[in-house]
Homo-oligomer: A and B are copies of this chain.
Amino acid sequence: MSKLCSLKEAIQNNVHDGDLLYAAGFTHLIPFAAAHEIIRQGIKDLTVARATPDLIYDMLTAAGCVKKIIFSYMGNPGVGSLRIMRKAIEEKQVEWEEYSHYGMISRLQAGATGLPFIPMNPTAAPSLEKANPNIKRLVDPYTQKEVIVVPPLLPDVAIVHVQRADIHGNAQIWGIVGEQKEAAFASKRVIVTAEEIVDETVIRSDPNRTVIPSFVVSAVCHVPFAAHPSYTQGYYDRDNPFYLGWDEVSKTDESIKAWLDEWVYGVADRETYWQKLGDETHERLHVKDNFSAPINYGDY
């Protein structure tokens, strides 16, 4: 059964005002194309969860889509501050809920595996536990020592960008796999955007590579370069100048508005956006091939 549709349709059908959204991808495969489509569709009051809000949630916040943010590290990776979200928190324009990376990922793991909590060992750091009542303690019945527990995170919708998927939604990822699997399994609905839509036989030629199975997927969209300015391992590089440039763009309301007008509202879809970036950028982000050693599954 094909779940292939346009990104526009996928967002229309699966992302609604007030949803809890998890746009997955730790530093890699960040689904920027989907976020831009959410902005274009004017979706409001989202609770957005990510270990690292990154530029993707800075953009959603700037466009007024965000009511609340759940996170564990709010920075512009390798650059510095995430100005828009930081200001929104400092000025209390958004609500926030905060964890450490492992706490955040444990919440997803609990959601993805159907558990009411996941334990983690004590870290000795007391302040976040005091600030967030969702972080609790339990006594280990075997040693009588205390463990920290966090509750499941159960997003309404996860968006996951992948290297390749078939039309049913079976999706394969390589390079940094982050929390993609956990986000997909934890969520009620899953949108997959893919660099390539491949025949089912390609997926079936390497089943160990499959991270997300078709039956947890709601929609599959063919969106090359969907992760720019982040990257897709083996397809294109991270656009570091973009990350550095965002530090400037995000300094004033005017420059933010101008950027959104030009690069989000002013383009119809990712294909237009990519073409607009131009040849120099395409060339700069191009990567040479580097193939893995082959794997023999055997013909049984």
* A287 neighbours in B (Cβ, 8 Å): 298-300
* A205 neighbours in B (Cβ, 8 Å): 290-293
What residue of chain B has the Cβ atom nearest to residue A206's Cβ?
A: B292
Is there contact, CB below 8 Å, between B117 and A121?
A: no
A residues at B contact (CB < 8 Å):
114-121, 136, 138, 140-143, 145, 147, 149, 151, 174-175, 177, 198, 202, 205-206, 208-209, 233-235, 237, 287-300
Is there contact, CB below 8 Å, between A115 and B174?
A: no
Q: From the candidates B142, B233, B289, B298, name the one contacting A235 in the complex (CB within 8 A).
A: B298
What residue of chain B has the Cβ atom nearest to residue A137's Cβ?
A: B141
Given A136-B141, A208-B175, check contact A119 B119 (CB 8 Å): yes
* A114 neighbours in B (Cβ, 8 Å): 121
Is there contact, CB below 8 Å, between A234 and B116?
A: no
* A300 neighbours in B (Cβ, 8 Å): 237, 287, 290
For the complex of A and B, 9 pairs with smallest distance between CB atoms: A206-B292, A234-B296, A287-B298, A290-B299, A116-B140, A288-B299, A234-B298, A292-B295, A205-B293
* A234 neighbours in B (Cβ, 8 Å): 295-298
- Minimum CB–CB distance from A12 to chain B (whole Å) comes to 33
* A293 neighbours in B (Cβ, 8 Å): 198, 202, 205-206
- Minimum CB–CB distance from A274 to chain B (whole Å) comes to 18
